[in-house]
Structure 1
């Protein structure tokens, strides 16, 4: 697929660039556009099929990976959002019986957040759908292209992490 076709077919961040723009900018905007397209579809499906949001799904996914639960500060760090965001989402999920707060005996200000049985059951359904949606979105891409892209993005991730670490 040529760049002309991509730009004409979808008015997005990438379509603001042209062949005269440097490759790094065009690559960045293509990555961002792809991410936005995939994420917007996932957000829409979660809202439509499960009446939930991507941040709620993400919080539940973090808790699913750590059955003993996590403190709010850990959730905040893993999800890269503020404690306030985590508190709001946790409050909603707790009202719906999806998570529970367990006070930490050694620190009255802290709580461990865990999925409830209901939360685990509901998350399992959402996660299965989420995985199927992603597979469906990427189904048409040849396996070789997927592997190449995965490896290339791995290189980009390593380079970026190295540069960021050197700055701090």
Structure 2
């Protein structure tokens, strides 16, 4: 009897592990599919890369500006990548570096008025694309998925 319980437990763990892996791969697959489509549309429609769009989105949410290190953390990319993206956007006069008042050696990056205007028009189109790509998911399912993923995110934050 004890051997049967052990076998059942081992079987259940394998099934749970398999289910967790299947969930992870399904979420990743959906994310990559959407991201690739958005990448392509941003490039074709606006001549901008997804990382440049993402950096502008971060700055739109923080009009006071963000330091390079903070941008790097928020975008989960290296400081070197942030510097390169910022250099490009600065050359196009979409962002500006300003000395950080708390630390004279550091800079914050802010959107320029032209950057705000450009981002606002891109963001409106981007939102429409996301709506289009997710139109096959009902409103109730979207709400349920948001709730479930919020719970998962909270769990992941507290898991060592």
**TM-score scaled by structure 2?**
0.85
Say which of 29, 33, 40 aligns to 1:33.
29
SS at match of 1:109: strand
Aligned-residue RMSD, C-alpha: 1.5
**Aligned match of 1:107 in 103, 112, 115?**
103
Q: Kindly report which structure 2 residues correspond to 1:19-168, keeping only aligned pairs within 5 A, or say none.
A: 22-105=18-101, 107-163=103-159, 167=160
SS of the equivalent of 2:77 reads: coil
In structure 1, list runs of 5 or more residues that go unmatched. Answer: 1-18
The Cα shift of 1:106 comes to 5.0
Q: Secondary structure at the residue paired with 1:111?
A: strand
When structure 1 is superposed on structure 2, of 41-50 and 74-83 the one drifting more is: 74-83
Greater helix percent: which structure? 2
Q: Which runs of 5+ in 2 are unaligned?
A: 1-14
Distance 2:110 2:25 in 1: 37
